[in-house]
Amino acid sequence: MIRLDGRARKLGDNINTDYIIASTRKRDTIDEQLLKQWLLETLDPSFAASVREGDIIVAGHNFGCGSAMEVAATVILAAGIKAVIAQSFSRTFYRNAINNGLIPVQCDTSRFDEGDALSVVLDGAALSVENHAKALTLTCPPLTGIVLDILDHGGLVPYMKENRALTPRGT
């Protein structure tokens, strides 16, 4: 079981990967430890400095749309954020998150506010979110098959090191 406790950092709909980290920033380096100082700078230049270890991003629809650039996932992790909760995810961001061990949680975030105390709980395939500020517990669509398998391994690198191949469970 994985349990993550942290405070909500609220963002809007259609947060594209260029907003998460600008293409101009990653042209000189793909080191996420350097890039994290510019996390979400286009939306809020002070955001990166305000992130605390354990913060959880809470967004609206279509989080991570646009470019498929994987630094968008690794830079979030480097900043100390281990889960993103959104109404929905763009598919390339979703895959990149899973492949790096960042937990993408799909649920109704409409009642969540900036700063809410949250817990994300992954128990087997079951995924849920507790919003302590709103006294809410939300059950999310479970993670299944190869997606869960990759996340259970901690990402695609450890998965590939162990399996040497892509072998979906149940096929």
Which residues bind to another protein, rule: CB under 8 A? Answer: 14, 16, 18-19, 22-24, 26-30, 42, 61-62, 65-71, 73, 88, 90-92, 95-96, 99-100, 145-146, 155-157, 160-161, 164-168, 170-171
CB 112 to another protein: min, Å: 19
Contact residues for 160 (Cβ-Cβ < 8 A; gap 6+) = 166
Sign of CA dihedral 16, 55, 148, 143: negative
CB 132 to another protein: min, Å: 29
Nearer to another protein, 30 or 126 (CB): 30
β-bridge partners, 85: 58, 105
CA dist., res. 127 & res. 71, Å (int): 25
Nearer to another protein, 61 or 134 (CB): 61
CB 139 to another protein: min, Å: 21
Among candidate residues 170, 165, 118, 131, the one with its CA nearest the CA of residue 148: 170
Nearer to another protein, 92 or 131 (CB): 92
Nearer to another protein, 1 or 27 (CB): 27
The three-class DSSP label of residue 60 is coil
CA dist., res. 105 & res. 126, Å (int): 11
CB 89 to another protein: min, Å: 8
